[in-house]
Amino acid sequence: MRYLAVVLMLSVAACSQPPATRSGEVLLVGRAIIADAGEGLLRVGVTSARGARGAARALDPPATVDLRLSLFGRPPCLTRTDTASLLRQVTAGAGVTMVVAKADPAVPAMLAVLDLAIDGQPALGRPKPPWPNLRDSTAGDEPTVPILFPVLEDADWHDTWLKPLFGNLHTGQDLRGPRMTPLVACFGGVVWLEPKADPLAANSLVILGDAGWEALYAHLNNDTPGTTDNAASRDYAFAPGIENGARVVPGQVVGWMGDSGFATGPHLHFELRGPDKQVHTAAPSLRAARHLVEPARVAVWPALRPAPGQVRLDGIVKSVNVGARRLYLGVRYRNGVPLSGPLYVVIGLGDDAAIRIRGEGTMELSLAQLTPGSAVAVVADPGLVAPTAREIWLERQGLVVDETFRSTVDALARAGA
């Protein structure tokens, strides 16, 4: 009995361990005030703050800060649950600890949240590194993993698990189709890219799935459309915003089929890796998988509707030309409809265009503050040559803080460096 009590105490202690803080980062401790799943908002009363090495500084009265959890923001990524289901579980008064750091000097009101724990349970985390090798040990059992078929609509395949292939055994399944066929996330998770890490697989990505399974997608496209030049930019391999640490939902377009690396024709080489760290045949899972005819549609901020004649484009900022007042956008949704192929659009800025952070009232940003990688919603006039933006709403994950609180965090981050 005493032994059991000790074990229980140990496990509680392990759960409530605060997240590790590194140089330049600050640990905040407080209590949840409001959690709004619809708005992706967690309001926290912060009662203490501490740098990587210093002692905790008590904040009295507590500082009220807003944590905005966007599905499409850059890291931190959600490793366990999606935003809405995470926030639905948070009750007022729950203990909140988070590790924060300066996100982007251009947007000082937003701090990056690197780790988040609620009542001692990890909720957000740094992405874990991918498996070191694409070729791993193999197992003979045949589990059926609940997945979506990773190729939009369908692909031509037959079971080639462990079939001899140029002196090796084939440790995946080859799903054949035309170049640039959209590939979709077979389950929700966090993406890790491995372009050229393995010359055999070339443009490849791993989805670190929420349920512990991982999926490898290899041979993504590297040809400029209409050619076989092996010279296309990564925009024709990976969908906008697909980068290390990006969160994907099941059915989201992650990239396009191709023949990069060691491939005799365009196909997706698909592998499933289990929580046991072994590669398993994907054949039973693929046979049981549901096929999508259009990519997943994620309702994001449905209240923002374009006026008649206008268009709403949701996507990821690729680059910004401040002098010419233009931005280059990798589009994911047009008027809320998911795109199944690559679309990159140059958008001009109207003279009276407003750039704001979603949910942060009237605080205006400058064009220079739209950094590449930012997720944005643009309401624009379609225009004959290029759309002209009227409103741009920045979708950022992070902690929204006022000037006073930011200087506290800055001081603690410096002291801990």
Chain positions contacting Zn ion, by CB under 5 A: 172, 174, 269
CB of 213 to Zn ion, least distance (A): 18
Answer yes or no: are the C-beta atoms of 185 and 251 closer than 8 Å.
yes
Q: Please say which residue, 174 or 223, places its beta carbon nearer to Zn ion.
A: 174
Residue 129's CB: how many other CB atoms inside 10 A? 10
- CA–CA separation, 16 vs 8, rounded Å? 12
Residue with smaller CB distance to Zn ion, 169 or 368: 169
- For the CB of residue 219, give the shortest distance to Zn ion in the complex, in Å: 8
For Zn ion, the closer CB: 72 or 157: 157
Q: Give the residue with the Cβ less far from Zn ion, 269 or 406.
A: 269
Residue 59 or 162: the one with the smaller Cβ distance to Zn ion is: 162
CA atoms in the 13 A half-sphere facing the CB of 108 = 9
Nearest distance, CB of residue 66 and Zn ion, angstroms = 46
CA distance 123 to 121: 6
Rounded Cα distance, 313 and 194, in Å: 29
Q: How far is the CB of 165 from Zn ion (least distance, A)?
A: 7
Tokens, residue 255: 């990239």
Indicate the residue among 161 and 333 with the shorter CB distance to Zn ion.
161
**Distance in Å, CB of 159 to Zn ion, minimum:** 12
How far is 282 from 264, CA to CA, in rounded Å? 21
Residue 135 or 325 with smaller CB distance to Zn ion: 135
Give min distance, CB of 151 to Zn ion, in A. 13
Smallest distance from Zn ion to CB 257, Å: 12
Q: Which two tokens stand for residue 152?
A: 């939009």
* Residues forming beta bridges with residue 32, ordered by sequence position: 44
Alpha carbon distance 243, 232 (integer Å): 17
Minimal distance in Å, beta carbon 282 to Zn ion?
Answer: 11
**Ramachandran bin of 259, using left for φ above 0, alpha for ψ from -120 to 50, beta for the remaining angles:** alpha
